[in-house]
Amino acid sequence: MNALADIAIKLLRQREVGLVLLILLVTAIVSLVDPGFLDDRNLKDILVRSAPTVIVACGVMLVVVTAEIDISVGSLMALLAALMGLMISHNEWQLSMWIGIPTVLLCGTLIGLLTGALVTLGNVPSIIVTLGLLTAIRGATTLLMGGENIDGLPDELQTLSKVGPAGMPLGVWTAVAVLIVTQIIITHTPLGRRLFALGSSDYSARMTGLSATRLKLFAFAYTGFLTALATVVDVPRLPKIESGIGSGFELLVVTCVVVGGVSIAGGRGRLGGVVLSVILLTMVRPVLTFLDVGEAGEKWTKAIQGLFILIAVITDTVVSRSRRGGARNTSSRGTQVAVPRDATGGPAA
Amino acid sequence: MSIADFMKRFPWWHEVILGVLLAGLLSVVGVVNPQFLNLKGQLLLSRHLWEFALLALPMTLIILTGGIDLSVGASMGMCAVAFGLCHANTGSLALSCLVCLLIGTAGGAVNGWLVSRMNVHPLIVTLATYATFRGLAEGTSQGESYSQFGDGFSQLARGMWWGVPIPAYLFALMAITCALYLSKTPSGRYIYAIGHNELATRFSGANVDRLKFRLYTFSGFMAGLATIIYVSRFDTAKADAGTGFELDVITAVVVGGTSIYGGRGNIGGTVLGLLLIHETRLFVSRQWQIEELRSIVIGLLLIGSLLLYRVVRPVHRD
Amino acid sequence: MADSLIQVDRLFKSYGGVHALENVTLDLRAGEVHALCGENGAGKSTLIKILSGVIAPDSGEVRIDGRPLPAGKVHATEDAGVVAMHQESTVFPDLDAVDNLFVGRELRRWGGLLLDRSAMRKQTSDLLAQLGEDIDPTRPVGELPIAQRQMVAMARALSRDCRLLIMDEPTASLSGRETEFLLQLVRKFCEQGVAVLYVSHRLEEVFQIADRVTVLRDGRLVETRDISSINTDDLIRMMVGREGAELVGRQARTGSFGGDVLRVNNLRRDGVFEDVSFTVRAGEVVGLAGLVGAGRSEVARALFGIGPCDGGTITVAGQELPTGSVAKAMACGLALVPEDRQHEGLVLPMSVGANLSLAVLRSLTRNGFVSNRLEQELAEHQIAALSVRTAGTAAAAETLSGGNQQKLVVGKWLASRPRVLILDEPTRGVDVGAKAQLHRLIRRLADEGMATLMISSELPEILSVSDRILVIREGRISGELDGVNATPEQVLALALPDEREVAVPS
């Protein structure tokens, strides 16, 4: 009995297990009400809507893993969408797609690098830097678009973004590719392990000779690049580019990363949890549609998303408390032993 | 004492920089557009300022402890809907105001409970309640907007006493209260101490958890108060009240010299920060008739001011 | 003479005017185990930090094979073959054992692009197997029991190509079997020509494993000796020093105590301390001695309500004190001068005045507002009473020297007019002059009727200041000694973990 409970607790500590259970539960309930929920088209729709969030969350996750944060991705997406629209729309500058798209990707990366430079070299807290950029970039976007919406993107791009290879939109394929690459970075490259090491203990990282500056610069630049990528593959899906694109996106992404089990204090987190939490939070709206609660019900989307986050946060605290309680006997003694402190009591100044 | 030493120790750098920036801005304005500087016009234009000025006060206190409250804007949405629903059902303005304040305070208390008792990082807590509050507002109101609260009520935000908008008195009262609380009371001192070194503050016998709980609750209460002014100004209560306010408010506080790590800053700085941002916005949108420039300038101001402070004073990171 | 591998040449290091190391010179030979002994605060950690490149000395240098080691550079030092095994401070708690071993110097394949995970995992399990540990290499190290974490840190040190291995208290948290095993390992490395600098409080280990031993005291080198030429008593005597016998200011003080002010009964915190019972009388200074990690500070914190406590009662002047609340402990008249003044005692960026008043702000109010006048008076009074050297009440606490900072913490707590004063390492990192002042202050307070509990790692301090000495060993009170007649040897014998017989001169 006890052993079973132990196993259950251990499993529930894995964020992924909880998320999968929650997703299955919600799916089961909704498909009982309306079997159409399990329809290919609907499932595909959920995937398509999740794709840009997944892509960007891969970057933001790495930023959060190093104990920083990026809340500027929504605005950045709007700016890059506007830039892309202006360059390649046949109503605007009519540049070739092969010039426009690489430029957008490059701009995204550069802005990410700039963010990272302000954080590491400028020594300004990342929450402030990205808050400032959030505001400034949004303004720049509206200015750039001059109050007009942009349409007339090249047809190939629009088609690809809706129906790509094997009937799946380009966004979904890109998301899969980005997931694979990010997973490889995390588990199979020195870079990824160092990002986690830095977030786990910056003191130990210093003792080991890791460069916090370079690692963080990479994380921010990667986020910028992925934001550009998400823009390129997902925005053409929309009928036109408006200046309001991506507002609130930054908080959704950070939310997904946190609900997915990435520690805001750095050093901990898995990609699987992030993907699952993106799917869970994206599901909320279609679920409400299928429950046939009508317009009225859909207005509750945000509230339900918010409650999911609160639940995640509270269970996390409760679970980690029980873990700490269990480990206290062994660790408390050790931590004090471990602090060698002879004669280090000089003045700080 | 060397000059560098003096620069490091001089305690009023933020205020001096802000003062110089503000004076510079105003003199540029004075040259470019003399009519802009008249006091009466300024007071008239100031009505955009008061709601977020009210929110900046508790935000200053919270950031001083090293925390943050991202949920204030969303909390306003929730309060506005509560206000509208209550008015639609009872027709009583007084009751509606009370409900509005209560809902705001309750929301703040939830934040406070999660931060102080559950020990969750304030950024995460208020990010979660940010979505929850706004969602509750949208869900309960179903996108409906409530209006027609009567001329008397809209006088609250639009009316003037001796040529000064009524909300200004409210703000002045709250600002002085907060400033006194922060600089003169034991709790105020503990707020600074928590921001610098929470552990040592606990060792000194301060009830850190209770204090934090109160600050977040106060922030919720002020969101309720700001909502009343907001609703009165537009004569409309809608779920989107206060959208994006959290960013403006945090910007004002940080530009006002409050360290995002806590421990440094004061209400006076926040007032200067509010003024600087307010004047910049007015001037930019007046001068170029381009609304968007405003947010660019403000975003850059936020980052720029911190870079500038870093140059003048070295980082103090624990 | 065996070949000398490392030469430590005239190292000096001081913190805020206090010498942590003064003119320390020693050499380490390839293939020897060199023990480093000394009391807490003797300068062992500072020496280790300099050797491993964490800090740079003020002057002097360390040479390996005659070439100077780069000072203050961890990476370069490791590359030169000097690897330190700090206790657990350089572990990444969120990473698994494999990553902990290899981060920063990963094994790669595919032209350096990808990690060679299988090779790293294999090396890790090989190393751990060598260490006789069956550790799941995929679990975050922070979740492992402390002994296994220790083994990961050990494996991490060994995975480097090392010529000098520095081991700082490697057995502090190991069981007997694990210790035995570790000592065998150390021997094996030595046979491969590695030099080992071994720091331990457990003297029987030193005698079992070391070839030579160097003793530090007050930052100075006492002597380096072949282990075969000395016995345990000699070693203790070298560590304690001559002044152990002729302490300054010791005098008969018995007879003038009041009633019990603090009475502690069966205080217990699971896994840390248990069955702790003692009393402190008015006017009495009770010294609490024991090794670092024996549970002394934890007892103090439990008393003050800031540390956890799982059972037992605390009575202050006949009134039972509820545990777990600092405010209630303060209301009952308790004050704690914590061991880490920079993190627990002071708010460093705040002014001297604000720090002095922080614990008593409520009593300085007029109509709810803190009175500037009262606060200023308090600050000036305490500064004068404790002769704190500061540029003024408005100077930031961080601008003061260690000794003056410590006086500030004491002053902050005296301002609350406590009945019981608990001092945790009151003179750690404080220069000689300030130390003497603090000692006189503690005695004077006692003469005025204060009940004082003083925790200290410094034997001379315990012996010269206390009226009565309690010794804690592994969470239990192992003995009580009379403050006037106790000898350093008696205290050490009660404090050291092994039950070996130390000749007790009486």
Same domain, C217 and C329: no
Chains in contact with B, where contact means 3 or more Cβ–Cβ distances below 8 Å, are A, C
Which pLDDT does position C20 carry in this prediction? 80
Coil/strand/helix, residue C279: strand
Q: How many helices (H) and strands (E) does chain B have?
A: 15, 4
Could A137 and B299 be called an inter-chain contact, meaning their C-beta atoms sit closer than 8 Å?
A: yes
Taking only the tens of pLDDT, chain C with its 506 residues reads 457 888 888 888 887 666 788 888 888 998 899 999 887 667 888 888 888 887 888 888 888 888 888 877 777 888 888 888 775 556 788 888 888 888 877 888 877 778 888 888 888 888 888 777 777 888 888 877 766 777 787 788 777 778 888 888 777 666 666 677 778 888 888 888 889 999 887 777 888 889 999 998 888 888 898 988 988 778 877 877 654 433 445 554 555 788 889 999 999 988 888 899 999 999 899 999 887 778 888 899 999 988 888 888 999 988 888 888 888 899 999 999 998 888 888 998 899 999 999 999 888 988 889 888 999 999 999 999 888 888 888 888 888 877 888 899 999 999 989 999 999 988 876 766 677 788 888 988 988 889 999 998 777 788 888 989 999 988 889 889 888 888 888 888 888 776 444 433 33
Could C103 and A208 be called an inter-chain contact, meaning their C-beta atoms sit closer than 8 Å?
A: yes
Same domain, C53 and C201: yes
Domain count, chain C: 3
**How far C348 CA lies from chain A's nearest CA (Å)?**
8
Residue C339 lies in a domain: no
Is the pLDDT reported for residue A342 higher than 60?
Answer: no
Same domain, C144 and C240: yes
Partner residue opposite A334 with nearest CB, options C54, C114, C173:
C173
Mean pLDDT of A117-123: 91
Which pLDDT does position B98 carry in this prediction? 95
Residue C338 lies in a domain: no
Q: What is d(CA C215, CA C104) in angstroms, rounded to the nearest whole number?
A: 35
Nearest chain A alpha carbon to C78: A208
Is the pLDDT reported for residue A230 higher than 90?
Answer: yes
Tell which residue, A176, A211, A177, has the closest CA to residue A191: A211
What CATH code is carried by the domain that includes residue C135? 3.40.50.300
Mean pLDDT of A182-191: 92
Which pLDDT does position B189 carry in this prediction? 93
Residue type, C504: V
Residue C428 lies in a domain: yes
Tell whether A294 lies on the interface with B, counting CB pairs under 8 A.
no
Domain count, chain A: 1
Confidence of residue A117 (pLDDT cuts 50, 70, 90): very high
Same domain, C390 and C370: yes
Residue C127 lies in a domain: yes
Q: What is d(CA A253, CA A256) in angstroms, rounded to the nearest whole number?
A: 5
Could A135 and B114 be called an inter-chain contact, meaning their C-beta atoms sit closer than 8 Å?
A: no
Residues of chain B whose pLDDT is less than 50? 1, 315-318
Nearest chain A alpha carbon to B251: A132
Residue A267 lies in a domain: no
Which pLDDT does position A327 carry in this prediction? 33
Q: What is d(CA C159, CA C168) in angstroms, rounded to the nearest whole number?
A: 17
* Domain membership of residue B107 as a residue range: 47-243
**How far A281 CA lies from chain C's nearest CA (Å)?**
27
Could B207 and C327 be called an inter-chain contact, meaning their C-beta atoms sit closer than 8 Å?
A: yes
Could C89 and A338 be called an inter-chain contact, meaning their C-beta atoms sit closer than 8 Å?
A: yes
Residue C340 lies in a domain: no
Tokens 């540990």 correspond to what residue? C133
Nearest chain B alpha carbon to A144: B292
Task: Name the β-bridge partners of C196.
Answer: C33, C165
* Segment C240-251, tens digit of pLDDT: 765 443 344 555
Which pLDDT does position C122 carry in this prediction? 87
Q: What is d(CA B111, CA B118) in angstroms, rounded to the nearest whole number?
A: 10
Which pLDDT does position B99 carry in this prediction? 95
* Domain membership of residue C363 as a residue range: 347-417
User: Which chain A residues contact residue C348 at CB under 8 A?
Assistant: 348
Residue type, C497: P
Could B186 and C370 be called an inter-chain contact, meaning their C-beta atoms sit closer than 8 Å?
A: yes
Tell whether A230 lies on the interface with B, counting CB pairs under 8 A.
no
Residue A232 lies in a domain: yes
* Domain membership of residue A171 as a residue range: 54-250
* Segment C197-209, tens digit of pLDDT: 998 877 778 888 8
The structure tokens listed for C403 are 């000794």
Mean pLDDT of A326-330: 31
- What predicted TM-score, i.e. pTM, was given to this entire model? 0.80
Q: What is d(CA B191, CA B59) in angstroms, rounded to the nearest whole number?
A: 12
Average pLDDT, chain A: 82
Cβ partners under 8 Å of residue B316, min gap 6 = B259, B261, B263, B264, C349
**How far B58 CA lies from chain A's nearest CA (Å)?**
18
Whether residue B297 contacts residue A135, with contact meaning beta carbons closer than 8 Å, is answered with: no
Residue B166 lies in a domain: yes
Cβ partners under 8 Å of residue B196, min gap 6 = B262, B263, B318, C347, C348, C349, C350
User: Which chain C residues contact residue A199 at CB under 8 A?
Assistant: 94
Whether residue C195 contacts residue C30, with contact meaning beta carbons closer than 8 Å, is answered with: yes
Partner residue opposite B303 with nearest CB, options A129, A141, A301:
A129
Could A299 and B139 be called an inter-chain contact, meaning their C-beta atoms sit closer than 8 Å?
A: yes
Partner residue opposite A201 with nearest CB, options C92, C342, C406:
C92
Which pLDDT does position C170 carry in this prediction? 77
- C-facing residues of A in 272-311 (CB < 8 A) are none
Which pLDDT does position A310 carry in this prediction? 82
Tell whether C327 lies on the interface with A, counting CB pairs under 8 A.
no
The structure tokens listed for B195 are 């921001």
Tell whether C400 lies on the interface with A, counting CB pairs under 8 A.
yes
Q: Tell me C431's DSSP state.
A: -
**How far C176 CA lies from chain B's nearest CA (Å)?**
36
Nearest chain C alpha carbon to B200: C344
Coil/strand/helix, residue A277: helix
Confidence of residue A276 (pLDDT cuts 50, 70, 90): very high
Which pLDDT does position A349 carry in this prediction? 28
Q: What is d(CA A56, CA A178) in angstroms, rounded to the nearest whole number?
A: 9
Question: What are the angstrom distances between the C-alpha of B159 and each of A292, B47, B168, B172, B232?
Answer: 47, 10, 10, 16, 10
Partner residue opposite B202 with nearest CB, options C306, C350, C361:
C306
Tell whether C44 lies on the interface with A, counting CB pairs under 8 A.
yes
**How far C198 CA lies from chain B's nearest CA (Å)?**
33
Could C349 and B205 be called an inter-chain contact, meaning their C-beta atoms sit closer than 8 Å?
A: no
Alpha helices in chain A (DSSP H): 2-13, 15-33, 40-65, 73-88, 97-120, 126-145, 155-162, 170-188, 190-200, 202-207, 212-234, 249-259, 271-290, 294-298, 301-337
Residue C157 lies in a domain: yes
Same domain, C223 and C150: yes
Pairing relationship of beta strands B236-237 and B146-147 according to DSSP bridges:
antiparallel
| Residue C221, phi then psi, degrees to nearest 5 | -75, 125
Confidence of residue A106 (pLDDT cuts 50, 70, 90): very high
Which pLDDT does position C245 carry in this prediction? 36
Domain count, chain B: 1
Question: What are the angstrom distances between the C-alpha of C91 and each of B21, C105, C153, C206, C373?
Answer: 47, 15, 7, 26, 50
Is the pLDDT reported for residue A40 higher than 80?
Answer: yes
Same domain, C237 and C260: no
User: Which chain B residues contact residue A134 at CB under 8 A?
Assistant: 247, 299
Residue B37 lies in a domain: no
Could B189 and C361 be called an inter-chain contact, meaning their C-beta atoms sit closer than 8 Å?
A: yes
Nearest chain B alpha carbon to C330: B205
Mean pLDDT of A258-287: 88
Could B203 and C344 be called an inter-chain contact, meaning their C-beta atoms sit closer than 8 Å?
A: yes
Residue A284 lies in a domain: no
Is the pLDDT reported for residue A293 higher than 80?
Answer: no
Same domain, C301 and C408: no
Tell whether A325 lies on the interface with C, counting CB pairs under 8 A.
no
Tell whether A41 lies on the interface with C, counting CB pairs under 8 A.
no
Is the pLDDT reported for residue A321 higher than 70?
Answer: no
Which pLDDT does position C17 carry in this prediction? 61
Tell whether A127 lies on the interface with B, counting CB pairs under 8 A.
yes
Same domain, C389 and C486: no
Mean pLDDT of A25-30: 88
Is the pLDDT reported for residue A59 higher than 60?
Answer: yes
Domain boundary among C368, C388, C417: C417
**How far B204 CA lies from chain C's nearest CA (Å)?**
5
Could A336 and C298 be called an inter-chain contact, meaning their C-beta atoms sit closer than 8 Å?
A: yes
Which pLDDT does position A95 carry in this prediction? 82
**How far C408 CA lies from chain B's nearest CA (Å)?**
13
Coil/strand/helix, residue C108: strand
Tell whether C359 lies on the interface with B, counting CB pairs under 8 A.
yes
Whether residue A296 contacts residue B142, with contact meaning beta carbons closer than 8 Å, is answered with: yes
Cβ partners under 8 Å of residue B293, min gap 6 = A139, A143, B284, B285
Cβ partners under 8 Å of residue C421, min gap 6 = C335, C337, C413, C414, C445, C450, C451, C452, C453
Q: Tell me C341's DSSP state.
A: I
Whether residue C219 contacts residue C22, with contact meaning beta carbons closer than 8 Å, is answered with: yes
Q: Tell me C134's DSSP state.
A: -
User: Which chain A residues contact residue B297 at CB under 8 A?
Assistant: 139
**How far B194 CA lies from chain C's nearest CA (Å)?**
9
Residue A195 lies in a domain: yes
Same domain, C214 and C123: yes
Partner residue opposite A334 with nearest CB, options C88, C90, C348:
C88
Which pLDDT does position A322 carry in this prediction? 55
Nearest chain B alpha carbon to C340: B200
User: Is the reported ipTM for this assembly greater than 0.85?
Assistant: no
Which pLDDT does position C381 carry in this prediction? 92
Residue C240 lies in a domain: yes
Residue B62 lies in a domain: yes
Which pLDDT does position A344 carry in this prediction? 30
Residue B9 lies in a domain: no
**Is the model more confident about B8 or about A73?**
A73
Sheet order of strands, C260-269 included: C273-281, C260-269, C311-316, C319-320
Residue B3 lies in a domain: no
Q: What is d(CA A215, CA A198) in angstroms, rounded to the nearest whole number?
A: 8
Same domain, C126 and C18: yes
Which pLDDT does position B312 carry in this prediction? 66
Whether residue C183 contacts residue C175, with contact meaning beta carbons closer than 8 Å, is answered with: no
Same domain, C69 and C116: yes
